[in-house]
Amino acid sequence: MIHSNTQKHIEVVPGVVNVSRYAVNQVGGTALGGAMDNGLNPTTTLGCGTWGNNIISENLWYTHVMNVSRISYRVPDIYIPTDKKIWAG
């Protein structure tokens, strides 16, 4: 998680710190678990990846043997449905 408006600062951190998800100007607890307004796949079992000797929590794919850092930004003006609309039958 970083709170900055300086692109140089934003882009240098994932090259120095081994992270699997890295969010910019967002709420850490909810954004890194995946959110409708940032495009990260939802997860409730986010581990520290192969850097921390964790096992994956989804179907095995070739991307799981690659260490990848993802930088996410909030998507401006995205439609987020209400709970009522999400749970409507």
Evaluate whether residue 55 is within a structural domain.
yes
Q: Is residue 53 part of a domain?
A: yes
With respect to residue 60, please indicate whether it lies within any of the assigned structural domains: yes
pLDDT reported for residue 6? 95
User: How many domains, in total, are found in the chain?
Assistant: 1
Distances (CA, A) of 9 to 4, 13, 48, 56: 7, 7, 22, 29
| Residue 1 domain-assigned (yes or no) | no
- pLDDT at position 44: 66
Domain with 41 in it:
7-86
Sorted by sequence, the CB contacts under 8 Å of residue 70 that are 6+ apart come out as 20, 21, 22, 40
What Å distances lie between residue 7 and 3, 30, 31, 76, 84, CA to CA? Answer: 11, 23, 19, 18, 38
Residue 66 in domain: yes
Q: For 30-80, write each residue's pLDDT tens digit.
A: 667 777 788 777 776 666 666 767 676 454 567 777 887 888 998 889 898
Whole-structure pTM value? 0.54
Q: Does 2 reside within a domain?
A: no
Tell me if residue 21 falls in helix, strand or coil: strand
> Is residue 40 assigned to a domain?
yes
Per the model's pLDDT, the better-predicted residue between 6 and 49 turns out to be 6
The answer to whether residue 44 sits within a structural domain is yes
**Partners of 71 in the β-ladder:** 22
